Structure 1
Amino acid sequence: MKEFWNERFSSEEYVYGTSPEVRLKDFIDRSTPGLVLFPGEGEGRNAVYAAKKGWTVKAIDQSKEACKKANLLARNKGVAIDYAVADILTFDYKPGSFDFIALVFFHLPEELRKKIHQHLISLLKPGGRIFIVGFSQEQLQYNSGGPRQIEMLYSEELLKNDFRDLKLIKCKTLLDELDEGPGHSGQASIIEFEAVKM
């Protein structure tokens, strides 16, 4: 999987664009800045936007090519992000330290997804929020991006179950028109999820 993403991110072009995901942008714009983690952050568009808005940003991905492009984007925008090329399950993040964790189109095989979601809960401080935007299982009807394996896509029930120990704020499925570089373009079925650790 690491090799797949290194190859995908090896071009000069930003595969998913350089602007933040619109729902995440709205969340960042209406929230008080704190310490945020972006797992599977890719080329950095969301982490860089959060840094511009005053957040202290940590990002992690297994792709060194993604990290290079994210740091370049950060420099071009005049901000700094702390970007690790590592496995999030073994990286030395302190439990209970993050105000906010954002997963943006971060799709995983079922068993790995469950492990990472539980790990992310442990990294949130009390009152910390998790925010997810990703493709729903209905995305298989569309050709606008995302995995083609249903087990790697989200459903509302799946997310509610993975984060059942948190207080649910939002969980909805919607149709949207994506315009996020060549990797995400066209009509798509999206899930937006938000929950808080009590």
Structure 2
Amino acid sequence: MDADAWDERYRTTDRVWSAEPNRWVVRETAGLPPGRALDLAAGEGRNAAWLAGRGWSVDAVDFSPVAVRRIVEAAGPHRDAVRAEVADATRYAPEEAAYDLVLISYLHLPAPDMAVVLETACRAARPGGALVLVGHDVSNAEHGVGGPQDVRVLSDVEQVRAAWEPCADIVVAEVARRPVGEAVALDTVVRAVRR
């Protein structure tokens, strides 16, 4: 989907996604000391708002202008800690080696585009900074529920590991099971520390 299609999707409902942060984002970042974070393809800002509420200064980018407006709204009393910007994650050029955390949550792109975003994320993290990716795993199309059904855009632990190992130490790399009602979704969860 392009930015116009996402704008339309966001316009048709008060919230497309839950206001709560993603469970894997919480698990992988809860123990990190607050600092400066970059949330690439931030959607409506649920993770950015949660991070800001925990003391982080967050730069949140998304290519949907409607989503970017919602990012600021989602931050509520912590809006001064969130800077939201309209930008395409595949073309975004953040400050290099500037972030204590770079987050990519449920961004689904063809492999060449995702490789660009993963490289951008690695360059943006400072030495010692965390890199976190969460997304619908490629196995979810056949064995899980929800998410995109096009396996060409789904996340893959090995793709993320291969992109980040040259610049970071992998701490977590798994396919995690997420309950969805009576069913289960399968998510790629990778956390790394920039060298």
TM-score by length of structure 1 reads 0.89
AA paired with 2:189?
Answer: E
2:189 is equivalent to residue 192 of structure 1: yes
- Could you tell me how far 1:72 is from its partner in structure 2? 1.4
Q: Distance in 1 between matches of 2:138 and 2:96?
A: 31
* Structure 1 stretch displaced more, 139-148 or 108-117: 139-148
C-alpha change, 1:175 and 1:30, in structure 2 (3 Å) is same
Question: Contact 1:52–1:79 at 8 Å: present in 2 too?
Answer: no
- Could you tell me how far 1:87 is from its partner in structure 2? 2.5
Q: Identity, % of aligned pairs?
A: 22
Secondary structure in 1 aligned to 2:188? strand
- Could you tell me how far 1:91 is from its partner in structure 2? 4.0
- Could you tell me how far 1:73 is from its partner in structure 2? 1.7
What are structure 2's unaligned runs of at least 5 residues? none
* Structure 1 stretch displaced more, 91-100 or 163-172: 91-100
Aligned pair count?
192
Structure number with higher relative contact order (C-alpha < 8 Å, ≥ 6 residues apart): 1
C-alpha change, 1:46 and 1:164, in structure 2 (3 Å) is same
- Could you tell me how far 1:174 is from its partner in structure 2? 2.3
The aligned counterpart of 2:138 is 137
- Could you tell me how far 1:94 is from its partner in structure 2? 1.3
CA-based RMSD of the aligned residues comes to 1.9
C-alpha change, 1:175 and 1:89, in structure 2 (3 Å) is closer
What are structure 1's unaligned runs of at least 5 residues? 180-184
Q: Distance in 1 between matches of 2:183 and 2:21?
A: 17
Q: Which aligned pairs between 1:171-186 and structure 2 lie closer than 5 A? A: 171-178=173-180, 186=183
AA paired with 1:172?
Answer: E
